[in-house]
Each structure stands twice: as structure tokens, then as C-alpha cells.
Amino acid sequence: MDKPEHLRPVDTAPGAWLAARPAACAAAVLGVLSFIIVAISQGELWSTPDWRISVPCFAITAIASLVSIARKERGAYPLWTIGLGLAAAALVLGWFLMLAIVIGATVVVLLILHAVM
């Protein structure tokens, strides 16, 4: 009879946590790469990205995320969620960046008003 998982010895080697979740790690890396590739290939940041680049990047990241879910990798949700979120943000990069600028400016104004009042 095997021990329950919480009674098994913990592997403390550096990178052991990532090595146990290869599909989720791949999804996170693909999401970051797709965001960077779309941002670099886009001429004007406020325009719509080229779908011939952004959609395949998103699809590959989504497939890696689904593989991670299918493999039932424990605790891998933050990795594939971040990767999928970045790849999805790359689909609407101009809108995403403009919204981020508006939210950032709002936070700055709120902090200034909070400090003054």
C-alpha cells in the first residue's frame, strides 16, 4: 500500500516543481513568447494585431494548456492561466495596452488625491 501524497518525501531540488509540470511550463513560456512576438511584429501598438501571427500563437498556447489540464498536473493552474492570458491579450494588444494606460493613469490620480486629502 502506497503512502498518501502528503506523507511522501518532498523533492527539494531546484526546478523540481517546474519539471513535474512540463505542459503548464510550456504553456506559460508560449504565452510570454506569443505576447512578445505580436508586440514586436505590430507596427502601431494601438492597431489590431495581424491575425496570421496572433491566432496561431494563441492556438498553440491553448493546446499546451489543454494538455496540462488533460494530464491533471497538480498546482499547474497559475502557469497555464498566465500563459493563456498573455496569449489572449496578444489577440487584442492595442485595446489591452490602451486599457492598461487608462487604468494606470486612474490609479496615479487616485493615489495623488488620496495623499492630498
- Helices 77-91 and 93-116: angle between axes, nearest 10 degrees: 110
pLDDT band at 29 (very low <50, low <70, confident <90, very high): very high
The whole-number pLDDT of residue 96 equals 84
83 vs 64: CA distance, rounded Å: 9
Q: So where are the chain's domains?
A: 23-116
The whole-number pLDDT of residue 32 equals 95
pTM for this predicted structure = 0.75
Residue carrying C-alpha cell 487608462: 102
Mean pLDDT to the nearest integer, 29-38: 93
| Tens of pLDDT, residues 46-93 | 778 888 988 999 999 999 999 998 988 887 888 899 999 999 999 988
| Tens of pLDDT, residues 5-16 | 778 776 666 677
97 vs 75: CA distance, rounded Å: 29
